[in-house]
Amino acid sequence: MADIVLNQLVKEYPGGVRAVDSLDLTIADGEFFALLGPSGCGKTTLLRSIAGLETVTGGSITIGGRDVTRLAPGDRDVAMVFQDYALFPHMTVRDNIAYPLRIKKVAKAERHAKADETAEGLSLGGLLERRPGQLSGGQQQRAALARAVACHPQVFLFDEPLSNLDARLRLEARTFLKRLQRDLGVTTVFVTHDQAEALAMSDRMAVMQAGRIRQIGTPKEVFQRPTSTFVAGFIGSTPMNLLDAAVDRDTVTVAGAVLPLPDSARGHVRDGEKVVFAARPEYLTLRAEPTAGGIEGVVAIVENMGVGALVSLDAGDDVIVQVTVPEGQEPEPGTRGWAVAAPERVLLYRAGDGELVGSAQPEPALTGS
């Protein structure tokens, strides 16, 4: 068992920056867990704290039930892969992969055999005598992974390991890494600022802001039911529509359209309360005829997305509503349209603090701070 338990973890840098702020988090054995958030939210500091590369200022870290809070990195049984791979340029690929085993004083023949076997599994078999400078970016990334895999750690810690790859290779590496982690079953913490990467790869993910976790859940939960406008605005390849709205008894008025109040918001909002209406462009449909509950506007921009298009509808008063439309149904710019939300997909947030007040979906169990 190699679950990771963080209890009231704090990392305060000199000068008073709380990069990790009283954080509670449990990552299950064998789980692929993504840490996501904007630049400076504390993802890397949290990962480095688990690795032992930062000395925490408060709280505790256990791995597989063992308190590692004060242990040196080498005694934690974790392997970290960095964004820049951190391969030794003067060593061959074989020696790079075998390096952690050398530190552990594994005999030369055994560590070379282990390095060769791991390299073979990661399609690096023909490259063992090369130096990192003679490898492509993707090959360097695999060499860094092989080095992490060869020493059979209890935990993998990945700090944006795909961000130096070009878009195509990145997609391939994503699938490859996911499969590797699943085959090995090693508990993995993966830091990224790319929401698509976190959604695609993780079993569960946490969205961080200013040293704290704003939301934790499966990619589906976080995508479909962000619990704050902060998370709603951060997740999704097309930005969520977040529109000023007001509650009027059993209805919500948004950009001139009147919609039913979502069931789960009943009893949680006051008559006349200002709220934020939220719906993903993918959960809106565009009609060419006046439609009840539809937000009316003029098609301002049509962006080709390959399969389908993203339409920006200008609803007046500086309100833009975005809707995705299927291939072949792209409207002409300048024409009138009505954006209709699927009622079960509408979310309402408090105008004041941006917290979710209701949706028609059941509330998933949430843990974490």
User: Shortest Cβ distance from residue 162 to ligand ATP (Å)?
Assistant: 14
Q: Is residue 161 within the footprint of ligand ATP (CB under 6 A)?
A: no
Rounded-to-integer distance, Cα 160 and Cα 158, Å = 6
Q: Pick one of 45, 118, 228, 324: the residue that binds ligand ATP (CB under 6 A).
A: 45
User: Shortest Cβ distance from residue 59 to ligand ATP (Å)?
Assistant: 16
Pairing of strands 66-67, 356-359: unpaired
CA angle 323, 324, 330 (to 5 degrees): 105
User: Shortest Cβ distance from residue 38 to ligand ATP (Å)?
Assistant: 7
Q: Is residue 141 within the footprint of ligand ATP (CB under 6 A)?
A: no
Rounded-to-integer distance, Cα 58 and Cα 198, Å = 28
Q: What is the dihedral of CA 313, 315, 320, 321, to 10 degrees?
A: -60
Terminal C-alpha separation, the chain: 23
Which residue stretch of 12-20, 128-136, 223-231, 269-277 sits at the interface with ligand ATP (rule: CB under 6 A)? 12-20
Burial of 343 (0-12, 13-18, 19+ CB in 10 A): middle
User: Shortest Cβ distance from residue 40 to ligand ATP (Å)?
Assistant: 4
User: Shortest Cβ distance from residue 210 to ligand ATP (Å)?
Assistant: 8
Q: Is residue 214 within the footprint of ligand ATP (CB under 6 A)?
A: no
> Which one, 15 or 267, has the nearer CB to ligand ATP?
15
**122 near 130, Cβ under 8 Å?**
no
Q: Is residue 39 within the footprint of ligand ATP (CB under 6 A)?
A: yes
Which residues sit opposite 146 in a β-bridge?
A: none
> Which one, 95 or 160, has the nearer CB to ligand ATP?
160
> Which one, 17 or 305, has the nearer CB to ligand ATP?
17
Which spans of this chain sit near ligand ATP (rule: CB under 6 A)?
13, 15, 17, 19, 37, 39-45, 193
